[in-house]
Amino acid sequence: MHLKKRVLVTGGAGFLGRHLVKCLLAQGNDVLCVDNFFTSSRDNVVEFLGNPDSAHDAGCPVNLLKAVEDINDRQKFLLLEKASARFGGNLKGRTFAVWGLSFKPNTDDIREAPALTLIRGLLENGAFVRAYDPEAMPNAQTLGGLPAGECLFYAPDKYSVLNGAEALFLMTEWKDFRSPDFMEMKARLKTPLIFDGRNQYNAKAMKAQGIEYHQVGVPTQRPKL
């Protein structure tokens, strides 16, 4: 006899989480699905939204899932909006560096990657973009529809991509980006300014380093002049 259980599944909209949730529901369990949907597969989220029974059984109403998806879509434009506000609404002619193109570290998968949305937005606003990713640059150019050109340059390493940029956007938390040489970064950047989409660094440490640091959902840290 199967005993009904209440099971918490984190990352339930990812590839493995999606199948695990299905199996647990099929066994008659109550499943609470938790996922921020930021690095999950859009196809899996759409499947949750299109299946009211699964959505309710997973402990998350359909309207809440839809709201989370809408928030997730808006989040992809948040750093672009922050940059636009920081530069007085004018990004035209400015150069920006981007660290990370894949939707998560240790993969070349760019599906639903926030970095691609950011880059398109910067280019549409007349900016120049310099990008680097340890693995995903070929896919960004082919599958992502962002080939190198006059306004978009793909750099060979994480430091040369910073040369002359007025700000750095950190979009993927690759291990290679976790403990960089901040003095080297400041020497290469035109402005010591970071927009961090992953909230990877310590804000107080950035301020002490003399770096203006913008995060998601956290007050900006500006160094004392």
- Which token pair is 18? 């999606």
Helix extents (H) in 61-130? 62-75, 78-86, 114-124
Q: What Rg, from alpha-carbon coordinates, does the chain have?
A: 20
- Is the model's pTM score more than 0.85? no
Give residue 149's Cα distance to chain centre. Answer: 23
- What secondary structure letter does DSSP report for 101? -
pLDDT for 168: 98
Residue 209 CA to residue 204 CA, distance in Å, equals: 9
pLDDT for 9: 62
CA distance to 132, 144, 148, per residue, from 137 (Å) = 7, 9, 10
Helix extents (H) in 143-202? 182-188
Q: Are 114 and 136 in contact (CB under 8 A)?
A: no
Which parts of the chain register pLDDT below 70?
Answer: 1-24, 31-76, 221, 224-225
CA distance to 10, 58, 217, per residue, from 136 (Å) = 26, 33, 27
- Which token pair is 3? 């005993």
Burial class (CB in 10 A: 0-12, 13-18, 19+), 220: middle
pLDDT for 47: 55
pLDDT for 20: 67
pLDDT for 127: 98
Residue keyed to tokens 């369990």: 29
- Which token pair is 225? 């002049």
